[in-house]
Structure 1
Amino acid sequence: MTNSQKHILVIRLSAIGDVAMVVPVLQALTQQYPEVKITVLTRVFFNPFFRNLKNVSVFEADVKGKHKGVFGLYKLARQLNKNNRFYAIADLHSVLRSKVLKKFIRCKRFVSIDKGRKEKRLLTTGKLFKQLKKTHQRYADVFDALGFPLDLTQPTFPKKVTLNEKLLLILGEDSKKRIGIAPFAAHESKMYPLDLMERVIKTLSKDYKVILFGGGKKETEILDSFQNKYKNVINLAGKLSLNEELDVISNLDLMLSMDSGNAHLAAMLGIKVVTVWGVTHPYAGFAPFNQPDDNCLLADRNQYPKIPTSVYGNKFPEGYKQAAGSIAPETIINKIGSIL
């Protein structure tokens, strides 16, 4: 590293959507400040997210194994200190782990994200209902505070990947437009009811190639049942590595997702995204990057006036679990049709 090259450690350990949201911000940073070198401290699973970024490398944090607890974090900091001299640390996570690490890593410049916890609490308790600062901007604000103001309004995205033989064999080589559908989320209250989602899949599969995303035994079985019922439907759950999934996503014409990780994976690759929202709401700041506001399809607040009931979908009053079901399947189908 030259004397003029400033090396920034970026900390964001989880979760999948939050880490994916870092990518467009780092893309802007590395383009607008090509002299900056970035090391991202995150879980090894997320390494492929950063594959298209110049001057960015990933350092693995194994917080459930060798880097667990205070002593594990001390060992992690020693490894980081050994070969690096950081100009600054951008803490995009701001949890106890990153605060402990801060004490051990040799670096005086340290800025943590302002998560806006107070205003998010007002939003989810019905005392405020307006668009809060978006998470991407909160990340960008950290770099601004470190002396690297960012413009996120003119993003560039990687070119779509040329699919290898294995992926072409799975997807088939026809001229149909490809729609990815990721019907699952961490909490059921963020999901579109599966019986309604089946109606969406059935209709879309008449005109488009529908590619289903998910993971785990139960999700795979549900998606397999859709694949077996309808022509032009392909279930990818459990068949591909994350790298291969990203290759496929980069070749989609559109991704239909819940308020969940797949929306952010598609958005970071510059793919059009339609999101379905249950008890959460884009006002909390987690809408996918660079997408029109009206691509967020929202549950009916006349019927469910307490939405958003929580930021992550883990808390909701009785009767709210199926809130996303207040969006008609035709609304989703027509929205996708109008975009494509």
Structure 2
Amino acid sequence: MSAPASICLLRTSAIGDVTHVVPLVRTLQRAWPQAELTWIVGKLERKLVGDLPGVDFVTFDKGAGWAGMREVHATLKGRRFDALLQMQVALRSNLLSLGLKAERRIGYDHARSKDLHGLVINERIPARSGEHVLQAIGSFCEPLGLKQAEVCWDIPISEEAHAWAAQQWPDDQPVLLVSPTSSHALRNWRPDRYATVMNHAHARGWRTVLIGGPSAMERNMADAILARCRQPPLDLTGKDTLKKLMAMFCRAQLLLTPDSGPMHMANSVGLKVLGLHAASNPARSGPYSDRRWCVDRYDAASRKYFGKPASEIPWGSKIEKPGVMDLIEAEDVIERFEAAAAEPQK
């Protein structure tokens, strides 16, 4: 199979999923260094990956609706790609792809297709179940004759971001970062339980640091946690950028978070992640490289809400039900914290 001269990657969101695309980009670049890669990505997500070398980025402003689509189409007017990797099945992305010209239009298998996805593609990735999201995204190179045998991120982080992170705390104390808020509210844990774990970490000699974005939901969660902490943690909620957050992940020892974008960003730089999983399956959407430190109550959630074990529900099912995260007790998280703390640091 001849090397394609041009490939368009369409994955606009979200932060975690965009992080999973980076190893695919690296795979394509290693195999075909001369191929022109174009990545259509969301505005926020571009702030994380938009400086990847060797990639031409086109921003899709999904908040602009049809105007955002027209802008993408105008930017790529006259371009024809050897292959389009349509890695997002949402209706908006499927409609966006209609304005892109490509000889080969590769999308998901039938089981993972929805929202008219099958109408905008002419090839499909292999049909597999039981895959992590990163593996599914990585398989988009297989119809092109490649195999993602190595997972490599190397997302650029500026010296400025590293310098900012270095100013936030000294190096002589282990750091527990806590990113408590997912964009999916039903994946969020209780503030008092976060505080219990942070109080324990502080008593064990760790520095605790609250992180998060500038939204009202994240600020309210941070304030609720702060009110319950015996010793005030360093509160950096709303004070960082995605690159500064990556730099903090490079300096910390552990991240506590529900299933969220920061989980996958942290994993990409090798930080241990204590993920909280009840609403989602960590085998599918947990930290890809190492899930030893996660608390997994997904099977318990399936039995409680569906009356059957997780092995009997469709792969990738979300159990975003009110109270599902209460299946995770503070003691469960403290046990994983202690296990992670006892593991030698790299």
State TM-score, norm by structure 1: 0.79
Deviation at 1:112, TM superposition (A): 1.0
Q: Which of 72, 77, 81 is 1:76 aligned to?
A: 72
Q: How does 1:190-205 map to 2 (within 5 A)?
A: 190-205=187-202
Q: Deviations over 1:180-211 (max 9, x none)?
A: 21122233432232212111111112322222
Letter in 2 for 1:147: G
Distance 2:110 2:274 in 1: 25
Deviation at 1:86, TM superposition (A): 2.0
Q: How does 1:231-270 map to 2 (within 5 A)?
A: 231=231, 233-270=233-270
Distance 1:168 1:187 in 2: 31
Q: How does 1:112-131 map to 2 (within 5 A)?
A: 112-114=107-109, 116-117=111-112
Q: Which of 312, 336, 340 is 1:332 aligned to?
A: 336
Distance 2:26 2:35 in 1: 12
Query: RCO (CA 8 Å, sep 6+): is it higher in 1 or 2?
Result: 1
Asked if structure 1 preserves the Cα contact closer than 8 Å seen for 2:186 and 2:325, the reply is yes
Distance 2:276 2:85 in 1: 31
Deviation at 1:173, TM superposition (A): 2.1
**Shift in CA distance, 188/233, structure 1 to aligned 2, threshold 3 Å:** same
Match of residue 139 from structure 1: 137
Letter in 1 for 2:81: F
Distance 1:210 1:299 in 2: 25
Asked if structure 2 preserves the Cα contact closer than 8 Å seen for 1:91 and 1:111, the reply is yes
Match of residue 20 from structure 1: 19
Letter in 2 for 1:260: S
Q: Deviations over 1:238-275 (max 9, x none)?
A: 11222222222232222222111110111122322221
Asked if structure 2 preserves the Cα contact closer than 8 Å seen for 1:180 and 1:210, the reply is yes
Match of residue 171 from structure 2: 174
Letter in 2 for 1:299: R
Asked if structure 2 preserves the Cα contact closer than 8 Å seen for 1:198 and 1:226, the reply is yes
Letter in 1 for 2:58: F
The alignment yields a C-alpha RMSD, in angstroms, of 3.3
**Shift in CA distance, 58/314, structure 1 to aligned 2, threshold 3 Å:** farther
SS in 1 for 2:146: coil
Match of residue 324 from structure 2: 320
Q: Deviations over 1:202-252 (max 9, x none)?
A: 111232222222232343244256557455721211112222222222322
SS in 2 for 1:328: helix
Percent identity, aligned pairs only, is 19
Q: State how many pairs are aligned.
A: 318
Q: How does 1:21-60 map to 2 (within 5 A)?
A: 21-51=20-50, 53-60=52-59
**Correspondence 1:104 to 2:99:** yes
SS in 1 for 2:81: coil
**Shift in CA distance, 133/72, structure 1 to aligned 2, threshold 3 Å:** same
**Shift in CA distance, 112/290, structure 1 to aligned 2, threshold 3 Å:** same
**Shift in CA distance, 27/256, structure 1 to aligned 2, threshold 3 Å:** farther
Gaps of 5+ in 1: 119-129
Distance 1:260 1:271 in 2: 15
Moved more, 199-208 or 330-339: 330-339
Distance 2:207 2:77 in 1: 49
Asked if structure 2 preserves the Cα contact closer than 8 Å seen for 1:177 and 1:252, the reply is yes
Deviation at 1:55, TM superposition (A): 1.0
SS in 2 for 1:19: helix
**Shift in CA distance, 166/34, structure 1 to aligned 2, threshold 3 Å:** same
